[in-house]
Amino acid sequence: MHMRLLVTGGAGYIGSVVSARLIADGHDVVVLDDLSTGHADAVPAGARLVRGDLRSEAGRVLAGGVDAVLHFAARSLVAESVQRPDLYWSSNLGGTLALLDAMNAAGVNRIVFSSTAAVYGEPDAVPITETAPARPTSPYGASKVAVDTALAEYARMHGIGAVSLRYFNVAGAQPDPPGGWLGERHATETHLIPNILAVALRGSGQVSIFGADYPTRDGTCIRDYIHVSDLAAAHVLALAACTAGQHKVYNLGSGSGFSNREVLAACQEVTGRPIAFRIAPRRPGDPAVLVASSERIAADLGWRPRRGLREMTADAWAFTCARAGA
């Protein structure tokens, strides 16, 4: 069924890939993004970009007629959130509350929310299920928990249908025909795979691996990686699963993880380049192992990741080379 969709944060990494998928599926997409971290040229052809803040613009965009919202707009740097929690509360919680109120006023009652594994903090057990306690270790994670709580309240009070997708480690890139790619372009890049590939591209310097004394198979942290295109497919299913009066929560991961050294090896293999690294001190707040149980979304929505680490690193490399004109 054709829908008119508002994608907040659609100029960012995940929002742009999901927007492209929604357009390919035949929907009308309006992107609302303040371009504080996103890029206007990442908004896929076929989407209309409205530049502005959620708090001032959401009402106007929704009044234009929207069937559902996919909400990606957020600040997402854990370390920054520790330094400036105020920014995270005002953007992530304040922005979402403004969006929810604007949805109510406009009679829009479906929302898919971009949540995160950071809501769980240091897990008691892995794989992590959705019933694990939310014990975030950063203001970033706490702001996402607060939104999940608000979504449950708005579902109960106002009858909206909400789905929160808790992403584990998103990676990879997606072709953007003709000839382009949509991928990670953060001004401050903190993620492992883009940092490794930047060293491969430069052919000099070294990537820091944070900690080699964790209680894991090779001493480095283990994370559960998921291809951004698989993530986009989950959003399509979640949109169809928004049920009036309910707030549903799903983890998005693969059920197994790769260590930082294994990720480095995969990057060396796909790039065909040696990549220098050094073992650096642990990064504060990094749990040893974060792996998702995705059984709930598999059972309820039939979603399963289809692309593995090799495809993620190969696509991220193709994107990196395309951007560099290499």
Question: Where does this chain bind ligand UDP (CB under 6 A)?
Answer: 169, 190-192, 195, 207-210, 221, 223, 260, 283, 286
Question: In the complex with ligand UDP, which residue's Cβ is closer, 146 or 209?
Answer: 209
Task: Name residues whose C-beta falls within 8 Å of residue 226's C-beta, 6 or more positions apart in sequence.
Answer: 167, 168, 169, 170, 171, 252, 253, 254, 305, 312
- 108-134 b/e (C-beta count within 10 Å ≥ 16 → b): bbbbbbbbbbbbbbebeebbbebebeb
The label of the residue with tokens 């009402």 reads 59
Residue with Cβ nearer ligand UDP (54 or 78): 78
Q: Which residues are catalytic?
A: 140
Nearer to ligand UDP, 37 or 260 (CB): 260
What sign has the CA pseudo-torsion 4, 7, 11, 16? negative
Residue 244: both structure tokens together = 């009036």
Residues 6+ apart with CB under 8 A from 1: none
Whether the CB-CB separation of 89 and 47 falls below 8 Å is answered with: no
Rg (alpha carbons) of the chain, rounded to whole number: 19
CB of 285 to ligand UDP, least distance (A): 8
Helices (H), 107-158: 139-158
Name the CA dihedral angle for 258, 261, 262, 265, rounded to a multiple of 10 degrees: 150
Task: Report the nearest approach of ligand UDP to the CB of residue 193 (Å).
Answer: 7
For residues 229 and 260, which CB has a smaller minimum distance to ligand UDP in the complex?
260
Other residues' Cβ atoms within 10 Å of the Cβ of residue 218:
12
Which residue, 260 or 271, is less far from ligand UDP as judged by CB?
A: 260
Contact status, residue 214 vs residue 279, Cβ threshold 8 Å: no
Among candidates 13, 111, 103, which has minimal Cα distance to 61?
103
Q: Are 69 and 41 in contact (CB under 8 A)?
A: no
CB of 312 to ligand UDP, least distance (A): 12
Q: Which CB atom, from 223 or from 247, has the smaller least distance to ligand UDP?
A: 223
Q: How large is the angle between the packed helices 95-106 and 139-158, nearest 10 degrees?
A: 20
Q: CB nearer to ligand UDP: give 144 or 247.
A: 144
